[in-house]
Structure 1
Amino acid sequence: MPAKSDLPPALSPEVAFGRELRRLRNAQGWSLDAFGARVGYSGTMVGYFERAKRPVPEAFVTSAEEVLGLNGELVALWKEINPKIAPKWFRQWPKIEAAAIMIRSWEPLIVPGLLQTAGYARAVLRGVPGATDEEVDQALEARLQRQTIFNGPSSPIFAAVMDEGVLHRPIGGKKIMREQLEHLATLMDHPKITLQVVPLEAGATTGLLGGFAIAQLPEARDWAYLESASNGRVTDRLDEIQGISLRYDTIRAWAHPLHVTKDVIREMQARYEDE
């Protein structure tokens, strides 16, 4: 059995923010009290922020950006720990995605977040009860930022499987669905992305229990993200990972091969155009 390997400390957004804040302050040669006086907070409180011991208010980040002459660097880090962006249980997952060498994903209801267009993602995020326009905008920005993991040479392999019902559900309307399906067909030409669809004819499968993703990290135990109706969970427990991996393999056995999946997506895209 491989030894348990915890995520590196840098994968904690709170710690990452604190370390960068300390680096920027020290680069100016300011003590905690001197910097605190400039931003309107006590040196003690700034020290708490740097050690990730207190929640960081937006007003502090705004003031620190101005005092340090920054252009959004601290804001970008702060948004990863801002509860408006994502619930606490999810904040670790984007860092895991970015460190992964392979991600296997199953979605029974919607297009995987890493493959969503901006229009489709906005429509999904608007469905969150009580979400304000500002919260939707912030969550959308965070979701699109996650997708940048495919831009570099070290991007992970992403093997996505989703239910055919996803293609029939016109989230955001017909125009947005056409654009989303075109995006999916284009992404299937990406060397690191594969997408397969489980046909409706498969009937009841183990995939109906809910969506999930499994991330393989280099020289570390795999991690998984499990969805539910009201919450979600990130875990690296070996027994759970093994069970989820078995479920993924079982679901994928029902899926169309790649070339058939692309034909199915194109057919659905044409149907939305005709309508």
Structure 2
Amino acid sequence: MSVNPNPGPFVRPLTVFGAELRRRRKMAGLSQDQLAEITQFSQSLIGFIERGERTPSRNFAQRCDDALEAKGELVHLWEQVTRGASPKWFRDWLDVEPAAHTLHTWEPLVIPGLLQIEEYARAVIRGEPGIADEQTEKAVMARIARQEIFARPNPPMFRVVLDEGVLCRPIGGKEVMRRQLERLVEAIESPRICLQIIPMELGVTTGILGGFVIAQVAGSADTVYIQSATHGYVTNRPKDVEAIYSRYDALRAEAQPQHLSIALIREAAKLWT
């Protein structure tokens, strides 16, 4: 009998996945070390995930599913936990984002979700008024899971424009911000990721009211995701897409080239050491 994917309100979704992984591992007669050897993940990572202390990737769920002959149950549980954590209005975007060959994004306030570390994501999500701890953990797991698109054989091009203020906003505390900015520098090492910063001193106001993402999908019309205070808006209406492209082009024209943007990120990181 599998663990209930819709547990009571005080059970964290990471705990649910970890408990099911542990149950199936023991049923198979394997130790953590043996499962680690089969899946090529570390024993420590398996331990963290079984205790609900780390977010598993889809690749992790798939390898464990194969190793434990779970017939897709672990992957299915992983999908239930991650997709079910997203608001209904965001689920249309979850169909678009993985299919995109190129994503263009602008963020005036926070690091984009696709580049957030777990602790930063948790701090951002906890800012939602009235959100419960179990909802927070589900949303964190779902957000980190989206980053799996960079692990696929042909990851999308990801072009990011950030306001410099994002680097200076103390989300999650000094340690979290330091590690988050280190993550940005690491991300830029990928030839598929481009990140540019708009210096605060320029006083740019274009796009200051909200972030957005443009998804380019082969054989389909471009689609945009537009943020708002209460919910996002996903559309491929030509007028909306054209308006967002116009803002994005204006923002990129003001942004520093990548090598100077990296210098700005490293300088900002010094604030958090």
Q: Normalized against structure 2, the TM-score is what?
A: 0.73
Match of residue 201 from structure 2:
201
Whether the 8 Å contact between 1:205 and 1:251 is mirrored in structure 2 is no
Deviation at 1:94, TM superposition (A): 2.3
Describe the shift of the 1:135–1:232 C-alpha distance in structure 2 as closer, same or farther (beyond 3 A). same
Are 1:75 and 2:77 matched, yes or no? yes
Match of residue 142 from structure 2:
142
Describe the shift of the 1:260–1:80 C-alpha distance in structure 2 as closer, same or farther (beyond 3 A). same
Whether the 8 Å contact between 2:83 and 2:142 is mirrored in structure 1 is no
Whether the 8 Å contact between 2:82 and 2:138 is mirrored in structure 1 is no
SS where residue 215 of structure 2 aligns? Answer: strand
CA-to-aligned-CA distance 1:10-54 (integer Å, 9 cap, x gap) = xxxxxxxxxxxxxxxxxxxxxxxxxxxx99xxxxxxxxxxxxxxx
Match of residue 151 from structure 1:
151
Deviation at 1:272, TM superposition (A): 1.5
For structure 1, list consecutive stretches of 5 or more residues without a partner in the other structure.
1-37, 40-56
Match of residue 6 from structure 2:
58
Match of residue 29 from structure 1:
none
Deviation at 1:72, TM superposition (A): 2.2
Whether the 8 Å contact between 1:80 and 1:91 is mirrored in structure 2 is no
Larger Rg: 1
For structure 2, list consecutive stretches of 5 or more residues without a partner in the other structure.
8-15, 25-69
| CA distance in 1 between partners of 2:223 and 2:238 (Å) | 9
Deviation at 1:69, TM superposition (A): 6.6
Q: Normalized against structure 1, the TM-score is what?
A: 0.72
| CA distance in 2 between partners of 1:94 and 1:70 (Å) | 21
| CA distance in 1 between partners of 2:253 and 2:104 (Å) | 14
SS where residue 176 of structure 2 aligns? Answer: helix
| CA distance in 2 between partners of 1:81 and 1:107 (Å) | 23
Give the residue type in structure 1 aligned to 2:158. F
| CA distance in 1 between partners of 2:173 and 2:262 (Å) | 21
SS where residue 234 of structure 2 aligns? Answer: strand
Map 1:1-275 to 2 at 5 A: 58=6, 71-79=73-81, 81-82=83-84, 85-273=85-273
The percent identity for this pair of structures is 45
Q: Count residues with an aligned counterpart.
A: 212
CA RMSD of aligned residues (A): 2.1
